[in-house]
Structure 1
Amino acid sequence: MEDYSERLAELLRQERELQFTNFSNNTAIKLGQMILSKAFDVGKQITVDIRKNGMSLFHAKMNENGLGHDRWITRKMNVAHHFEHSSYYIHVLMKSWNTTVQDNAFVDPMEYAAEGGCFPIFVKGAGMIGTITVSGLEGHEDHEMVVASLEKLLKEADTFNET
């Protein structure tokens, strides 16, 4: 049986480290634009959705993406909200337990998808306040698209002391 412990530890590290001191609507727009720019640079077609406290702050859909991607975004977001972890972390965790999120958490498969692409927005001292979701690629690629952009944005914010 495959050992998932290192991957799970890395995903938890990302969640611990990729946190904001504050998260404004403008931060969401900047982050969404960064994710789209990265997708354009690597020739990928994605949908991006960023929400804060249930409010949609950024939503963009590239040419190859239709309504199905919105459905995937909702299903991935439901997982992140239910567990307060990235949807990819839950995907890997369920694989490590040799089960599915539906069988383990008794959730509707039409409403929950434990696939990569939804990352919780954590604000230090406040907890989870929203989600950043990408759909259109393989689950691990959706996840990496979000994480790479978050790392870049937070590094820039540290440099310029703003988020």
Structure 2
Amino acid sequence: MTVEEVITVLAMQEEILQFNHFTNEDAWTLGTLLVAEAKRRQLDNTAVEIRLNNGYTVFKYAGNGTTLNNEKWLDRMFRTVQVLEKSSLRVYSELKKDEDTLEDIGLNREEYSFLGGGFPIRVEEVGVIGAIMISNQNHFVNHDIIVKALSRYLHIDEVPRIRAL
């Protein structure tokens, strides 16, 4: 896939994978699906977090082998999704396409991430209310775990996926 094709697929995923509501119960159920998908792939050392835009964490999981460094990456991904209202993999892809850096778009790389693993929680007719983050795997894998779990949770079978770049 070209970078342009990847960006198109990522934008489609974000458009398709929207909620009609989002509660703490939704966060719990989705979070357990995210962890189950990581474990199904034998990625036990995965960190998962779901956080609302007000900063409140409604789900958190730290698998064996995760560290404080994963916590810092989760924070960076959250801020990226919160500010730009798109997946961190889409931000990465757009920067790559334009040959830009985070600094070129006014973001500090110590506080923001340009790698995959953050995905917006978008509620229909409301907008982005939070983010799902996964850390400690390849950033395409992090993103794919989120897409797979969201597809399952929202009962949406036809979601385009990125297989390789």
Normalising by structure 2, we get a TM-score of: 0.90
Please state how far the C-alpha of 1:155 moved relative to its aligned partner. Answer: 0.3
Q: Does 1:141 align with 2:141?
A: yes
Please state how far the C-alpha of 1:3 moved relative to its aligned partner. Answer: 4.0
User: Which residue is equivalent to 1:14?
Assistant: 13
1:1-163 to structure 2, matched below 5 A, reads: 3-44=2-43, 45-53=45-53, 54-102=55-103, 104-155=104-155
One-letter amino acid of the counterpart of residue 58, structure 1: F
Contact 1:23 1:123 survives alignment (8 Å): yes
The alignment yields a C-alpha RMSD, in angstroms, of 1.3
Q: Deviations over 1:29-79 (max 9, x none)?
A: 001101111111111020000012321100110001011000001111111
> Between Structure 1 and Structure 2, how many residues are aligned?
154
Please state how far the C-alpha of 1:109 moved relative to its aligned partner. Answer: 1.3
User: Which residue is equivalent to 1:159?
Assistant: none
One-letter amino acid of the counterpart of residue 57, structure 1: V
Contact 2:51 2:78 survives alignment (8 Å): no
Normalising by structure 1, we get a TM-score of: 0.91
Contact 1:3 1:96 survives alignment (8 Å): no
In structure 2, distance between residues paired with 1:88 and 1:3: 14
The structure whose residues are more often helix, as a share, is 1
Is 45-54 or 25-34 further displaced after alignment?
Answer: 45-54
Q: Percent identity?
A: 29
Contact 1:20 1:123 survives alignment (8 Å): yes
Superposition misfits of 4+ residues, deviation over 3 angstroms: none
Q: Structure 2: any 5+ residue segments left out of the alignment? A: 157-165
| 2:83 alignment partner, SS class | helix
